[in-house]
Amino acid sequence: MRGALPNWGLTKGKGNWFHALVSSPASRHDQKNYIPTSFFDHHQKNITYLFSPIKSHKTVRMKANAGTLTNFEVLDLLNSRGASNDTTRVIAPISTSEYTRLHVVYDYLMETPACTQTLEIITNFSDQCKYFKLAKAEILNIINTRPSSTVNLAPILEEPSERGIDKKAKEGILKLVEALLPPPPIVEARGENEEEETEEGEQS
Amino acid sequence: MFCLSEMEDTVRVPPDLLNLPLEVAIKKVLQKLLLNKVLSIGLCVSIYDIKSAEGGFVLPGDGPATYKVRFIIVVFRPFVGEVIAARFKESDSNGLRLTLGFFEDIYVPAPLIPRPNRCEPDPYNRNQMRWVWIFEEQEYIIDDSCQINFRVENISYPPVPTEQAEDAKPFAPMVITGTIDDDGLGPVSWWEGCSERNNEDDDT
């Protein structure tokens, strides 16, 4: 069982964020075993791991941020580990405490918009976002929270007026969100309906 | 919210695990060591992958086999400026406390609650205080009726205290400070009427 998924380092600005993932031979992690190492050679230039010389510390952190994950990817990872709603099934390779913790994280993520997303959706969305010149952190925020109105988008955008993002651009972003990202789940617990009543319609 | 982090460590695999395949055994030891623990880079949620393990020498006088392992873990570490959906946990005169289920040390101190506001004893819960935002002569209560969006202001890792009073709160190794003082932040119910108004404007 080898291989690691590509890192999507937000701190490194080169290239299209999702490029490495989309063009990899195995772009899903719903397999029990992760991707074979052929991926590494093929995409060497997109990998930003750099192995620093090994020192004799007890724990050496090679790379603190080897890639930021959207909520969807973590959810996908948990699904592939079997942390789904089937609580009766005992998962052999995972110890009890990991199972419990994964379950709590899983429950949290299932209430966020991540549970209705797929890899194609978020890749497509981030591709389209480049027209609006958004920072990667903002794209991540939008994917994770799926803002449905200007007021929900406001805390995500930093200094929009100074960057030339006017009302029209904000509406454009919201239309993109509406068209490409599926609506979040209905949160049953407190009777709050987060789903938008009106659809803005297909991509204009 | 989640990142991958690559690390290297010396792992001692106790003899009772040596009948398992190497990867499984190392994973078990790593899980016990790292899972649910807060490292300097965040809260470790899951072991993602083991990249390499070398060594396997048994040192004289010692039972476990020692491996030098390179692995990747999934850590929970939001970035400053990230908008996260959380639930209300409790509040007191210092501010609010929010929870994500798997992480409960999110504090919104009083200065980061939108003003003007007031703090009053909670009529439903004798021990708690309740915060109320007053805007345009309308009162907006902060309670657990719906999801609360907040933006990360700061993450701190307080050092482990050497002594603690008997009744002090359990030590929190990682504390996130958030703000709800911006458009779109705070309980989602505050902004729902607003989004309908925005939609009407867009249609005309």
Q: Answer whether 0.95 is exceeded by the pTM.
A: no
Strand partners, B150: B84
- Percent residues over pLDDT 90 in chain A: 0
Task: Return the pLDDT at B186.
Answer: 86
pLDDT at A11 over 60: no
What are the structural domains, with CATH classification, of chain B?
2-76 (3.30.1490.120), 82-194 (2.40.50.140)
Q: Which residues of B touch A142 (CB under 8 A)?
A: none
Task: State the number of CA atoms in the 13 A half-sphere of A86 facing the CB.
Answer: 7
Task: Return the pLDDT at B152.
Answer: 92
Top-confidence residue, A90 or A35 = A90
**A96/chain B closest Cα distance in angstroms:** 10
**Both tokens of residue B191?**
């902004």
Q: Which residues of A touch B100 (CB under 8 A)?
A: 108
Q: Which of residues 121-140 of B touch A (CB under 8 A)?
A: none
One-letter amino acid for residue B47 of the chain: I
Task: Return the pLDDT at B38.
Answer: 84
Q: Which residues of A touch B6 (CB under 8 A)?
A: 49, 61-63, 66
Of A59, A64, A101, the CB nearest to B102: A101
Q: Which residues of B touch A26 (CB under 8 A)?
A: none
pLDDT confidence band for A99 (50 / 70 / 90): low
Q: Determine contact: A131 vs chain B, CB below 8 A.
A: no
pLDDT confidence band for A12 (50 / 70 / 90): very low
pLDDT at A15 over 60: no
- Percent residues over pLDDT 70 in chain A: 50
Which of A12-21, A179-188, B135-144 has the largest mean confidence? B135-144
Task: Return the pLDDT at A33.
Answer: 36
Task: Return the pLDDT at B151.
Answer: 92
Q: Which stretches does DSSP call E strand in chain B?
A: 2-13, 38-39, 42-58, 65-76, 83-92, 95-99, 106-109, 117-121, 129-135, 138-142, 148-156, 175-179, 186-187
Give the mutation candidate from A60, A71, A76, A195 for the B interface (greatest B CB count, under 10 A).
A60
10-residue block means of pLDDT along chain B (204 residues)?
88 86 87 83 86 86 88 90 89 86 88 83 78 83 84 88 70 88 85 55 40
Contacts with A162 (C-beta within 8 Å, 6 or more apart), sequence order:
none
d(CA B127, CA A137): 39
pLDDT at A38 over 50: no
pLDDT at A3 over 70: no
Task: Return the pLDDT at A49.
Answer: 32
Measured in degrees and rounded to the nearest 5, phi and psi for residue B27 equal -60, -40
Measured in degrees and rounded to the nearest 5, phi and psi for residue B80 equal -65, 130
Q: Which residues of B touch A67 (CB under 8 A)?
A: 3-4
Task: Return the pLDDT at A24.
Answer: 39
Task: Return the pLDDT at B177.
Answer: 92
Q: Which of residues 111-130 of A touch B (CB under 8 A)?
A: 111-112
Residue in chain A nearest B52 by alpha carbon: A2
Q: Which of residues 142-201 of A touch B (CB under 8 A)?
A: 144-145, 147-156, 158, 171, 187, 190, 192, 194, 198
Q: Which of residues 12-31 of B touch A (CB under 8 A)?
A: 23-24, 27-28, 31
This complex has an ipTM of 0.79
- Is the bond preceding B116 in cis, omega lying within 30 degrees of 0? yes
Q: Determine contact: A79 vs chain B, CB below 8 A.
A: no
Calculate mean pLDDT across residues A64-91.
71
Q: Do A105 and B45 touch (CB under 8 A)?
A: yes
**A95/chain B closest Cα distance in angstroms:** 8
Q: Do B1 and A144 touch (CB under 8 A)?
A: yes
Q: Do A68 and B3 touch (CB under 8 A)?
A: yes
Task: Return the pLDDT at A71.
Answer: 87
Top-confidence residue, A52 or A136 = A136
